[in-house]
């Protein structure tokens, strides 16, 4: 039986999924404790709308400073919060950046997960605290089988994927060794209007909006032939919560079952702001997408290619459907439109930054 107390601790609360999950859990009556990193500037933009002043009567949303690279901090936080559920969403989550900072990525994403599990064990909370691990379709990497499902062999293709592989298995090991209710959600790509600006979907939707408004000339991208199974973050955080409500812990794929090449996402996003692009392919000096007027809007830049790429992701969510009753609601086409319209709206008033 689940305890009546509903107290969640979310690492990575300032990220895309942390924001959606906090909203969901607050709507379900949870006390939500989020772990945020110290930063020299505000990093709470995604959770502004649910922020509660600690001076208010009986706040239900609490923020604490912390870091997955700091074990004593994690032990103290878990001891203080005594969570019934922990959602470990914190990570250096950018695949390309993981090639630049592999050691930090391993520290935060792999050993960080171990630190959190050890905090639970040291405090003797193995039987009271349920644990969700943000595992990823990047575990599949080099294609072994399609669609990818829970039993598909892993073959990660980046320091990020390899770090997440350790995290996946340490969660399985702690479940088996200590009887913990610890589950891996193997989530395929999920996006939203608050997706980090350097992930490809958001980079594209922001650029389409900025080009439409005459505030940017061109968009530079890498591999347009990679294919991803993209869903909406709102649907995916619902699946995370469902996993922790099961009597038994387990590992589940969350995906839409549909795959889309990056180039289609580009075409959709520009079409949604009224710009029709045509591909200028091999043999043309400049490769990329241009308008009928001759203005070229999207160009290929080698710097955005990865040393090793994940070419094709398409997930099989049947287990999650059968056991959790989970299914995605938003299609990738709807998602692209929602993102680009949100960027268009925001950009009409705000300045833009170019760091993608
Ligand atoms: P984001 O990059 O948007 O958020 C990551 C969060 O982790 C941020 O709050 C970030 O803080 C925090 N963080 C980073 N490093 C540390 C650290 N050392 N200590 C504490 N906090 C840290 O990721 P998403 O919300 O998109 O993803 C959530 C999780 O799910 C990640 O673990 C990601 O790897 C995984 N995942 C994501 C998928 C997706 O498609 N979105 C798919 C599958 C898995 P700050 O805001 O200060 O940077
Ligand atoms: P991914 O997401 O690596 O799948 O990891 P990302 O959006 O970064 O890349 C998707 C695909 O697009 C190609 N691509 C580019 N990518 C970026 N970022 N920038 C570009 O300019 C560009 N041009 C082409 C990439 O090569 C890739 O094939 C995301 C993260 O959220 C992980 O944390 C998560 O685990 C996985 O999804 C599932």
Pairing type for strands 182-187 and 7-11 reads: unpaired
What's this model's pTM, rounded to 2 decimal places?
Answer: 0.97
Report the nearest atom of ligand 1 relative to the CA of 138.
43
Q: CATH number of the domain at 200-226+261-310+331-347, please? A: 3.90.25.10
The pLDDT tens digits of the residues spanning 157-193 come to 999 999 999 999 999 999 999 999 999 999 999 999 9
Is the minimum distance from the CB of 98 to ligand 1 under 6 angstroms? no
Q: Give yes or no for residue 202 CB within 6 A of ligand 2.
A: no
Task: Report which ligand 2 atom has the smallest distance to the Cα of 202.
Answer: 7
Report the chain's mean pLDDT, rounded to a whole number: 95
Buried b (16+ CB within 10 A) or exposed e, 78-103: beebebbbbbbbbbbbbbbbbeeebe
Mean pLDDT of 298-327: 97
Pick one of 3.40.50.720, 3.40.1190.10, 3.40.50.300, 1.10.3720.10 as the CATH number of 7-191+230-259: 3.40.50.720
In the structure encoding, which two tokens stand for residue 278, read together? 């045509």
Ligand 2 mean position, distance from CA 79 (Å): 36
128 is catalytic: no
Cβ 139 under 6 angstroms from ligand 1: no
Domain pair 7-191+230-259 / 200-226+261-310+331-347, same fold: no
Q: How much distance in Å is there from the Cα of 288 to the middle of ligand 1?
A: 31
Q: Which of 11, 14, 84, 136 is catalytic?
A: 136
pLDDT at 284: 47
ipTM of the complex: 0.99
Residue to mutate (ligand 1; options 15, 94, 196, 254; most atoms within 8 A of CB): 15
Q: In which band, very low, low, confident or very high, does the pLDDT at 352 lie, cut at 50, 70 and 90?
A: low
Counting ligand 1 atoms within 8 A of each CB, the residue from 9, 10, 11, 12 with the most, and so the one to mutate, is 12
Identify the residue whose C-alpha is closest to ligand 1 atom 28: 89
Predicted local distance difference test score (pLDDT) of residue 285: 45
**How far is residue 83's CA from residue 3's CA, in Å, rounded to a whole number?**
11
For the residues 318-341, what does the mean pLDDT come to? 98
User: What is d(CA 263, CA 219) in angstroms, rounded to the nearest whole number?
Assistant: 13
**Distance between Cα 188 and ligand 2 center (Å):** 11
**108 Cβ below 6 A of ligand 1:** yes
Helices (H) and strands (E) in the chain, counts: 11, 15
Distance of CA 189 from the midpoint of ligand 2 (Å): 8
Separation CA 347–CA 304 (nearest Å)? 24
Q: Confirm or reject: Cβ of 261 under 6 Å from ligand 2.
A: no
DSSP codes of every residue in 231-248: EEHHHHHHHHHHHHTSSS
Note the pLDDT of residue 280.
Answer: 82
For 58-113, how does the pLDDT look when each residue is reduced to its tens digit (9 = 90+)?
A: 899 999 999 999 999 999 999 999 999 999 999 999 999 999 999 999 999 999 99
Given pLDDT bands bounded at 50, 70 and 90, which one contains residue 355?
low
Q: Residue 195 Cα, ligand 1 centroid: separation in angstroms?
A: 10
Instruction: Judge whether 138 counts as a catalytic residue.
Output: yes
356 has a pLDDT exceeding 80: no
Q: Where are the domains of the chain?
A: 7-191+230-259, 200-226+261-310+331-347
């Amino acid at each position: 039986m689940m305890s009546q107390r509903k107290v969640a601790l979310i690492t990575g609360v300032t990220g895309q999924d942390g924001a959606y999950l906090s909203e969901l859990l607050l709507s379900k009556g949870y006390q939500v404790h989020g772990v945020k990193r110290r930063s020299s500037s505000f990093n709470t933009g995604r959770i502004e709308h649910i922020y509660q002043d600690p001076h208010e009567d009986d706040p239900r949303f609490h923020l604490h400073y912390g870091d997955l690279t700091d074990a004593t901090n994690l032990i103290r936080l878990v001891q203080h919060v005594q969570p019934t559920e922990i959602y470990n969403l914190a990570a250096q989550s950018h695949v390309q950046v993981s090639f630049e900072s592999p050691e930090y990525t391993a520290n935060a994403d792999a050993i960080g997960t171990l630190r959190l599990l050890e905090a639970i064990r040291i405090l003797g909370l193995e039987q009271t605290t349920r644990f969700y691990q943000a595992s990823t379709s990047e575990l599949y990497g080099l294609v072994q089988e399609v669609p990818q499902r829970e039993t598909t062999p892993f073959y990660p293709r980046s320091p990020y994927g390899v770090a997440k592989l350790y995290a996946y298995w340490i969660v399985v090991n702690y479940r088996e060794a200590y009887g913990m209710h610890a589950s891996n959600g193997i989530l395929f790509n999920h996006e939203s209007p608050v997706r980090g600006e350097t992930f490809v979907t958001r980079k594209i939707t922001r650029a389409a909006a900025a080009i439409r408004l005459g505030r940017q000339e061109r968009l530079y991208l890498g591999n347009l032939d990679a294919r991803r199974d993209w869903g909406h973050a709102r649907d995916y955080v619902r699946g995370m919560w469902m996993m922790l409500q099961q009597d038994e812990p387990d590992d589940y794929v969350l995906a839409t079952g549909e795959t889309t090449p990056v180039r289609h996402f580009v075409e959709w996003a520009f079409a949604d702001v009224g710009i029709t692009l045509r591909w200028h392919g091999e043999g043309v000096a400049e490769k990329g997408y241009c308008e009928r007027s001759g203005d070229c809007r999207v160009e290929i830049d080698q710097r955005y290619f990865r040393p090793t790429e994940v070419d094709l992701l398409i997930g099989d969510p049947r287990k999650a459907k059968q056991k959790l009753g989970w299914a995605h609601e938003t299609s990738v086409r709807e998602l692209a439109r929602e993102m680009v319209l949100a960027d268009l709206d925001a950009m009409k008033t705000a300045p833009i930054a170019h760091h993608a």
